[in-house]
Chain A
Amino acid sequence: MVRPRRPSTLEGMQTQTLENIVVTEETAAAPVVLTEVTKRYGRRRGAVAALEQVSLSFGAGSFTAVLGVSGSGKSTLLQCAAGLERPSSGAVRLCGTELSGLSQRRQAVLRRQCVGFVFQDLNLLPELTVAENIALPLRLDHRPAGRADIELAAARVGLGGGQLRRRPAELSGGQQQRVAIARALITRPEVIFADEPTGALDPHTAAGVLRLLRGAADGATVVIVTHDPQVTRFCDRAVFLYAGRVDRVLAAPEPAVVARVLHELGERGRS
């Protein structure tokens, strides 16, 4: 089921200023909150800032696209938010837990209990069957992975029957991405992070995958990193990054508007 959303235009858009997204008591309850997060790679003079003082919150049940030109810090933002990368400074709260004080082990446990991941690439273990790939997060969490649970998760993304016994290599790209989504959903996570989930798919299959994600997320907070304006058709909000900073935020983004903003950001980078 796709949630209703309001259309937006660039002229009359409800552009939120940066002041609007500072963490308030209301946003503090959001499943994902980044406060003044900075991430630098390298040391001393050679250091490159991938993120600079980024503060963002992603409310419960929201569906947000993070956009920007290449090198703007999109993937770093997602990795910091998901606890895959430690910020150089600032704080990240995920599912109500401050990540900075958490051991690697506790972070891993938190990830598998409340987060689902979908990647463009590298997403399935080739030696496991589709069913085993879907059940992996439950197995890692020492939870029972019954056949019915796996079949239900697979059915939600339109997989079933003999496909469950196959290996990923025997499936098409779109089917593989469905498996990844089913795997992300099986633990009923509070948050789903998706890094270019449709990057390697044709537009038709991509739309199907996004529709699936939107419908199957079922109340979960979804954060999608993408450079494809069409993805925002399914989103409540679009966050634009430029040079590691939040440039602007669009509510109920329209693909055409998003494309113009991306173009503008691209031109800015060239000038």
Chain B
Amino acid sequence: MRGWMLAGIRRAPGPLIGTVVAAATAATMSVAALSIALAHTEAPPGRLARASVVVAADTSLHVTVGHGDDAHQSLPLAVYRGVPAALAGELARVPGVARATAESGFPGGVVRAGDVDLVAVTAKPGVPAGVLAGRIRAALPGGRGYTIATGAARGDVANLNAAVERAGGQVLGVALIPPIVLISLFVLAATTALAVNLRRRRFALLRTVGATRGQVRRAIWAELAGCGLAGGLLGWLPGAALGALGVRALAAHQMLPAGSAAWQAPWLLLIAGGVSVLVTVLSGQVAARRASRTPPAQALRETAAERTWPNPVRILLGLAAAGGAGTLAALTFSQKSPAGQLALAFPLLLACMVAVALLGPLLVALAAGLARPFQAAGGPSARLALAAIAAQPRRTASAVIPVALAVAMVGCVYFVDSSITHATATQAASTVTADRVISGPSSGTGLTGGTLRQVRSLPGVRAAAGVAPVALAAVDPDLEQVDGEAVAGGPLGRVLDLGVTSGRLTELRPGQIAVSALEAAPGAMSVHVGSRLTVYLPDGTPYRAAVSAVYAHSLASGDVLIPAAVAAGHTGTAAGFTQILVRGGKPADVAALAAGRPGWHVASRAAANAASARRAAQDGFANNLILGVVAALAALALVNTLAVATLERRRTLRLLGRVGATRRQVAAVFGWQAVFVIVTGLAAGVAAGTVALLAVTRAATGSWTPYIPVGPASGLVAVVVALTAGAVMIPFGAMRRREPSLAR
């Protein structure tokens, strides 16, 4: 590498700091994502540590869905199917087995008589576990339908939740990693392009002294690679730390097995550096190509007076993106199924953001035109600020775009969450119509079928129903976990208002099932009243039933209701309910029933609804995680780009000083420009984010009106204003202090 190519990084790193920061962010995010994705998530084998081989009934549910390569789908089960206790005896006869013990009492263990959770097998000395596992597989009838685990895999059999939690973490990771990587790359590409554009004067000068296009391109690549490498090194440790933190947080929220550890290897440093260099150089490609292709005379002229009209290719691409966003929006809103709308929402947000980013200069020119009638009110400073904006729409756009993207992304993620939470809380608060709710302890002597019968026999009780949450699996249209409730008693309509849209829901008998409108829709389960539907109980047992009702209020009560009698014995816990809902009867009689039983309490309808509304509002870890990361990235992009763009205006500052502007006047010019950036950015961001927000709100809550609480909304605006003002005015203040020509 030739020294002169990298002199810019070594001695005048100012304009490149933004690129290094963006590269470090991209490296941090990649390293964190990788160390979480490759985390060691094996659960400890616990009391099976001394067993060589562990045999349990298949711990996964396998279902064939349609045809094709991905037709065979599976899902980890949280409950043991159970094996006959006699299996231990059979396995003891397999050659090489020293001892085979039937074991029970694991979390999610079976409660059926004669069955045990699993059999732990110890090998005779000198018999490798793998060999023994092969022999056991051959000895078992057919060898299929069993999970035969050795080594680290024993942990997953000892703790079935480990696999379920890991699957949950994977789902979150799949949802989280692409947008984060996309945003980091977007930020990096924008900052890199800005850094290269700001240095076009330098490259033009190199061309006049006889540098070929290739030499200029290579000089830019060398600089960017240097920035990328620096960013990679800087991003490595924070990324590793963030990964470790992420794994701990996921484990704490049961999205990874307890005791999981982030993947920390020396390779991460290489990967961080490699990814960062590669992405920085790639994202600078277009800018480098453009900087090297422009004839030197034109480049020298352009640096003095920017072209008013942006690159036609950019405008064409922007119009294509806007067209794409329009088409996607039309497609999204015409989707009949909420699932289809949800699937299109993220691409829709992305298309809107790309359109705003590409058409930024046009938006700025338009906004400058709209602002012109008001400039007289702001005095000469406002006039000057607006003139600079109108003359350099591209440069102003590079400040407006990060503001708009931050508002669109953070606003969309936050208000989608707030709308769903609000709708859930509203439904939860109105779902229970019973007069009184008896709640039982989460474990131990719970509310049983006997309790329900007792309640129903109380004088004056017109309706009583027991409910317990149950995690089912269903094909909608892929094999997925579906939250539901097991219910008994009735008439259900007297104690629950589920908003039944078709069918009847007085009580559920074995062979019947009720499904939410969200899941019944085409694109999900595609069922209606009278359809036959198969769902899978927690231990994998299929339950085939006829749909007896479809209901609307599913946010609080889950998507499927099944009879409690069907779920009993398949949930890994003793049959029972978490709540019994009572209509009618004397309050004193109900209270007397609960009296003296630890953990039991009786609440009024209002108190029960308030409690469930509170519970609904608290379940936001995944969303908070997404929001936190997106907000941090957006804020960083905003501050980074704006600070670089402001620092680049040193010449303007000097010029204003030379023509006699006072410090106050110059500050006012920069202040007005910050105001323009904030207002235009907010407007563009709100426009881009609203489309996707409406699509998701409509799909998830059935309403066109998103819930936008005033506090957080004004907080978001305040943070954007503060960050923008800070990123413009703080570098301005630093420059002003170093500029002696400015009159006080």
- A interface residue numbers (CB < 8 A to B): 79, 82, 84-86, 104-105, 108-109, 111-113, 115, 117, 119, 122-123, 125-128, 132, 136-137, 139-141, 167, 183
With A84-B296, A122-B201 in contact, do A137 and B209 touch (Cβ < 8 Å)? Answer: yes
Interface string of B285-329 (1 = CB under 8 A from A): 000000000011110100100000000000000000000000000
What is the chain B residue whose CB lies nearest that of A169? Answer: B12
Interface string of B1-14 (1 = CB under 8 A from A): 01110011011100
Cross-chain contact of B7 among A85, A115, A128, A183 (Cβ < 8 A):
A128
Shortest CB distance B265–A (Å): 37
The residues of A that contact B296 with a CB separation of less than 8 Å are 84
Does more than half of chain B's interface fall in helix, strand or loop, or is it mixed?
helix
In the complex, the answer to whether B212 meets A108 with C-beta atoms within 8 Å is: yes
Please provide the chain B residues from 266 to 294 with a CB less than 8 Å away from any CB of chain A in the complex. Answer: none
In the complex, the answer to whether A84 meets B295 with C-beta atoms within 8 Å is: yes
The residues of A that contact B12 with a CB separation of less than 8 Å are 126-127
In the complex, the answer to whether B11 meets A127 with C-beta atoms within 8 Å is: yes
Asked whether B509 is an interface residue with its Cβ less than 8 Å from the other chain, the reply is no
How many B residues touch A, CB cutoff 8 Å? 28
In the complex, the answer to whether A105 meets B214 with C-beta atoms within 8 Å is: yes
Which of A105, A113, A126, A127 is packed against the most chain B CB atoms within 10 Å? A127
In the complex, the answer to whether B11 meets A167 with C-beta atoms within 8 Å is: yes
Interface string of B385-404 (1 = CB under 8 A from A): 00000000000000000000
The residues of B that contact A141 with a CB separation of less than 8 Å are 210
What is the chain A residue whose CB lies nearest that of B298? Answer: A85
The residues of A that contact B211 with a CB separation of less than 8 Å are 108, 112, 140
Cross-chain contact of B205 among A86, A113, A115, A123 (Cβ < 8 A):
A123
Asked whether B208 is an interface residue with its Cβ less than 8 Å from the other chain, the reply is yes
In the complex, the answer to whether A112 meets B209 with C-beta atoms within 8 Å is: yes
Shortest CB distance B459–A (Å): 92
Shortest CB distance A229–B (Å): 26
Shortest CB distance B730–A (Å): 23
In the complex, the answer to whether A140 meets B210 with C-beta atoms within 8 Å is: yes
With A84-B297, A126-B12, A136-B4 in contact, do A105 and B213 touch (Cβ < 8 Å)? Answer: yes
The residues of B that contact A113 with a CB separation of less than 8 Å are 210
Asked whether B215 is an interface residue with its Cβ less than 8 Å from the other chain, the reply is yes
The residues of A that contact B297 with a CB separation of less than 8 Å are 79, 84-85
In the complex, the answer to whether B295 meets A85 with C-beta atoms within 8 Å is: yes
Asked whether B99 is an interface residue with its Cβ less than 8 Å from the other chain, the reply is no
The residues of B that contact A105 with a CB separation of less than 8 Å are 212-214
CA distance A126 to B650 in the complex (A): 15
Identify 22 residue pairs between A and B in the complex whose beta-carbon atoms are under 8 Å apart, listed by A's number. Answer: A84-B295, A84-B297, A85-B295, A85-B297, A85-B298, A86-B295, A108-B211, A108-B213, A109-B210, A111-B210, A112-B209, A112-B211, A117-B208, A119-B208, A122-B201, A125-B4, A127-B11, A128-B11, A132-B7, A137-B209, A139-B4, A140-B210
CA distance A136 to B4 in the complex (A): 8
The residues of B that contact A82 with a CB separation of less than 8 Å are 208
The residues of A that contact B10 with a CB separation of less than 8 Å are 127
Please provide the chain B residues from 343 to 394 with a CB less than 8 Å away from any CB of chain A in the complex. Answer: none
CA distance A137 to B211 in the complex (A): 8
Asked whether B207 is an interface residue with its Cβ less than 8 Å from the other chain, the reply is yes
The residues of B that contact A104 with a CB separation of less than 8 Å are 212-213
Cross-chain contact of B215 among A132, A140, A167 (Cβ < 8 A):
A140
The residues of A that contact B213 with a CB separation of less than 8 Å are 104-105, 108
A-B pairs, 10 with minimum CB distance: A112-B210, A127-B12, A84-B297, A108-B212, A111-B210, A127-B11, A85-B297, A79-B297, A105-B212, A127-B7
CA distance A139 to B6 in the complex (A): 13
Shortest CB distance A40–B (Å): 14
Asked whether B202 is an interface residue with its Cβ less than 8 Å from the other chain, the reply is yes
What is the chain A residue whose CB lies nearest that of B219? Answer: A140
In the complex, the answer to whether B210 meets A125 with C-beta atoms within 8 Å is: no
The residues of A that contact B8 with a CB separation of less than 8 Å are 127
CA distance A33 to B682 in the complex (A): 57
The residues of A that contact B214 with a CB separation of less than 8 Å are 105
Asked whether B198 is an interface residue with its Cβ less than 8 Å from the other chain, the reply is no
CA distance A122 to B304 in the complex (A): 11
Which of A79, A128, A140 is packed against the most chain B CB atoms within 10 Å? A140
Shortest CB distance A216–B (Å): 18
What is the chain A residue whose CB lies nearest that of B204? Answer: A122
List 12 extra interface pairs beyond A115-B210, A125-B206, CB under 8 A: A85-B297, A104-B212, A105-B212, A112-B209, A112-B211, A127-B8, A127-B11, A128-B7, A136-B209, A137-B210, A139-B2, A140-B210
In the complex, the answer to whether B209 meets A140 with C-beta atoms within 8 Å is: yes
With A84-B295, A136-B4 in contact, do A125 and B202 touch (Cβ < 8 Å)? Answer: yes
Cross-chain contact of A132 among B4, B201, B210 (Cβ < 8 A):
B4
In the complex, the answer to whether B209 meets A183 with C-beta atoms within 8 Å is: yes
What is the chain A residue whose CB lies nearest that of B292? Answer: A104
The residues of B that contact A115 with a CB separation of less than 8 Å are 210
What is the chain B residue whose CB lies nearest that of A123? Answer: B205
The residues of A that contact B300 with a CB separation of less than 8 Å are 122
Which of B207, B210, B211, B296 is packed against the most chain A CB atoms within 10 Å? B210
The residues of B that contact A167 with a CB separation of less than 8 Å are 11
Please provide the chain B residues from 70 to 107 with a CB less than 8 Å away from any CB of chain A in the complex. Answer: none
CA distance A123 to B204 in the complex (A): 10
CA distance A119 to B210 in the complex (A): 14
What is the chain A residue whose CB lies nearest that of B211? Answer: A140
Please provide the chain B residues from 318 to 342 with a CB less than 8 Å away from any CB of chain A in the complex. Answer: none
Shortest CB distance A103–B (Å): 9
Cross-chain contact of B208 among A84, A127, A128 (Cβ < 8 A):
A84
The residues of A that contact B3 with a CB separation of less than 8 Å are 132
In the complex, the answer to whether B208 meets A111 with C-beta atoms within 8 Å is: yes
CA distance A167 to B202 in the complex (A): 15
Shortest CB distance B647–A (Å): 14
CA distance A86 to B298 in the complex (A): 11
The residues of A that contact B303 with a CB separation of less than 8 Å are 122
In the complex, the answer to whether A117 meets B7 with C-beta atoms within 8 Å is: no
CA distance A125 to B300 in the complex (A): 14
Shortest CB distance B199–A (Å): 10
CA distance A244 to B627 in the complex (A): 61
In the complex, the answer to whether A122 meets B205 with C-beta atoms within 8 Å is: yes
What is the chain A residue whose CB lies nearest that of B2? Answer: A139
In the complex, the answer to whether A109 meets B212 with C-beta atoms within 8 Å is: yes
In the complex, the answer to whether A125 meets B205 with C-beta atoms within 8 Å is: yes
The residues of B that contact A111 with a CB separation of less than 8 Å are 208-210
CA distance A141 to B210 in the complex (A): 8
Shortest CB distance A190–B (Å): 13
CA distance A79 to B205 in the complex (A): 13
Shortest CB distance B16–A (Å): 10
The residues of B that contact A119 with a CB separation of less than 8 Å are 208
Please provide the chain B residues from 1 to 49 with a CB less than 8 Å away from any CB of chain A in the complex. Answer: 2-4, 7-8, 10-12
What is the chain A residue whose CB lies nearest that of B303? Answer: A122
Please provide the chain B residues from 430 to 453 with a CB less than 8 Å away from any CB of chain A in the complex. Answer: none
Cross-chain contact of B4 among A86, A117, A128 (Cβ < 8 A):
A128
CA distance A183 to B296 in the complex (A): 18
The residues of A that contact B207 with a CB separation of less than 8 Å are 84, 108
With A105-B214, A108-B212, A132-B7 in contact, do A140 and B295 touch (Cβ < 8 Å)? Answer: no
The residues of A that contact B212 with a CB separation of less than 8 Å are 104-105, 108-109, 140
What is the chain B residue whose CB lies nearest that of A141? Answer: B210
The residues of B that contact A183 with a CB separation of less than 8 Å are 209
What is the chain A residue whose CB lies nearest that of B207? Answer: A108
Shortest CB distance A193–B (Å): 9
In the complex, the answer to whether A117 meets B11 with C-beta atoms within 8 Å is: no
CA distance A82 to B208 in the complex (A): 9
Shortest CB distance A182–B (Å): 13
The residues of B that contact A84 with a CB separation of less than 8 Å are 207-208, 295-297
In the complex, the answer to whether B4 meets A108 with C-beta atoms within 8 Å is: no
